[in-house]
Structure 1
Amino acid sequence: MNIKISEVANLPTEFGDFRVQVFKEGHKEHLVIFKEKLEEIPIVRVHSECLTGDAIGSLKCDCGAQLEYALIMASQTNGMVIYLRQEGRNIGLLNKINAYALQDIGLNTIEANHQLGFGADERTYEMVTFILHHFNIHKIKLLTNNPDKIRSISDIEIVERIPIIMKSNPHNEAYLNVKKDGMGHLL
């Protein structure tokens, strides 16, 4: 892996005061938001980019609410959020919006991805291990509902999985059911 690593900077937020660092992998720049004094076994959220949910407040998913919850947890517990630049389960923003259009005519999130020639979930998590090793972290409490993250994070001991359950709404209820029933998410 040819990874470029930024300096560490302060990042005051509405959720608390953090430190921030970027890990550049090819054209993707992953962001790590963390408390200066991490716990020995920190709570870690591995969050994949979701511009529509994280920045715009889309109600079609639970991503924005999960990110906010993760930042609050990281602030309260001296933890970390690893923000992976894997928009749309790593199919990119253009294809994600094309998938949204297919969902608008009745396909679910998995069917839409398949219609576009992608798997249900194209994300990878090798970068997580690299980042955690950089911080000399070998054990974590993982804030996730996704069993693929648990299985895919290698060479790191996950001592506890902490659920991250957000309230559903009429716009994301079917989507959350597909995540649970079709992708095995622990909801």
Structure 2
Amino acid sequence: MHNARNITAPTDSSHPAGLPTATVRTRVTVPLRFGDGYAVTADLVTFHSLADGQEHVAVILGPSDFDRTPLVRLHCECLTGDVFGSARCDCGPQLREAVERIAATGGVLLYLRQEGRGIGLYNKLDAYALQDQGLDTYEANAALGLPEDARDYTAAAQMLAALGISELDLLSNNPDKAGQLRRLGVAVRDRVPTGVFTTPHNVRYLHTKAARTQHTLPLRELTAD
């Protein structure tokens, strides 16, 4: 049984795929409230010794005890979408949805400081400018001499190990997240798609993710032919 509120670090030194050991630094309870009025109480957990040195945070949500595999989302930071409500992506709605869905059953949202698929905020905005000239999101990264997707989930696997989670259901449309976690020794039992959050400004972006990197996004624009 996995415990959503009272997770403790493993007592042995064995970690998935020989990962360096990360340990819990601080755990604090924080009431969360979203712009639409939805509110929930979460435990925020920080860590020592994460592989990339970033300040990633685990958001533990849901019942104190539950008898099912925890639902986990790896949510990569998106200042424009998560904070400012940008309609050019689906990140803000995905974050809002994930918190409620995880809270309903118990699990963890890992908030990972990997803005712009790992290229950083300034580079992401530079890529937006190129997208305004006709490039898609991956072409824009390449034109800047950057990887299409620079994200690495080693730290996420460390965080899960520090929380005592070795098996999970992954809330994600992105097959690469599940693939990387499995290669890092985390048992992903099931990949659960998020909702599809389209706006007039992000349809091309979502279409590109589905076509180029096989995100599970059943857009009508993809199935109309």
Q: Relative CO higher for 1 or 2, CA cutoff 8 Å, sep ≥ 6?
A: 2
Please tell me whether the aligned partners of residues 21 and 162 of structure 2 are also in contact (alpha carbons under 8 angstroms): no
Please tell me whether the aligned partners of residues 169 and 192 of structure 2 are also in contact (alpha carbons under 8 angstroms): yes
RMSD: 1.6
Query: Which SS does the other structure have where 1:7 is aligned?
Result: strand
Please tell me whether the aligned partners of residues 46 and 81 of structure 1 are also in contact (alpha carbons under 8 angstroms): yes
Query: Which SS does the other structure have where 2:26 is aligned?
Result: coil
1:45-84 residue pairs with structure 2 within 5 A? 45-84=73-112
- Judge which range, 21-30 or 40-49, deviates more: 21-30
**Partner deviation per Cα, 1:121-156 (whole Å, 9 max, x = no partner):** 100001111111111111101000101001000211
Deviation at 1:47, TM superposition (A): 0.4
**Larger Rg over CA atoms:** 2
Q: C-alpha separation between the residues in 2 aligned to 1:185 and 1:22?
A: 29
Match of 1:37?
A: 64
Q: C-alpha separation between the residues in 1 aligned to 2:103 and 2:78?
A: 21
Deviation at 1:23, TM superposition (A): 2.7
Deviation at 1:166, TM superposition (A): 2.2
Q: C-alpha separation between the residues in 1 aligned to 2:149 and 2:169?
A: 23
Deviation at 1:4, TM superposition (A): 6.7
Please tell me whether the aligned partners of residues 22 and 162 of structure 2 are also in contact (alpha carbons under 8 angstroms): no
Query: Which SS does the other structure have where 1:82 is aligned?
Result: strand
- Residue 176 in 1 paired to residue 200 in 2? no
Shift in CA distance, 38/172, structure 1 to aligned 2, threshold 3 Å? farther
- Residue 8 in 1 paired to residue 27 in 2? yes
Deviation at 1:165, TM superposition (A): 2.2
Shift in CA distance, 116/38, structure 1 to aligned 2, threshold 3 Å? farther
Q: Which amino acid aligns with 1:163?
A: P
Shift in CA distance, 121/38, structure 1 to aligned 2, threshold 3 Å? farther
- Select the residue among 62, 76, 85 that pairs with 2:113: 85
Please tell me whether the aligned partners of residues 23 and 162 of structure 2 are also in contact (alpha carbons under 8 angstroms): no
Deviation at 1:60, TM superposition (A): 0.3
TM-score normalised to structure 1 length: 0.94
Q: C-alpha separation between the residues in 2 aligned to 1:173 and 1:50?
A: 18
Q: C-alpha separation between the residues in 2 aligned to 1:89 and 1:79?
A: 23
Please tell me whether the aligned partners of residues 21 and 31 of structure 1 are also in contact (alpha carbons under 8 angstroms): yes
Q: C-alpha separation between the residues in 2 aligned to 1:134 and 1:78?
A: 17
> Could you list the runs of 5+ residues in structure 2 that have no partner in the other structure?
1-19, 34-38, 218-225
Q: C-alpha separation between the residues in 2 aligned to 1:3 and 1:46?
A: 17
Please tell me whether the aligned partners of residues 65 and 166 of structure 1 are also in contact (alpha carbons under 8 angstroms): no
- Select the residue among 20, 25, 32 that pairs with 2:44: 20
Count of residues in Structure 1 that have an aligned counterpart in Structure 2: 187
Q: C-alpha separation between the residues in 1 aligned to 2:140 and 2:65?
A: 40
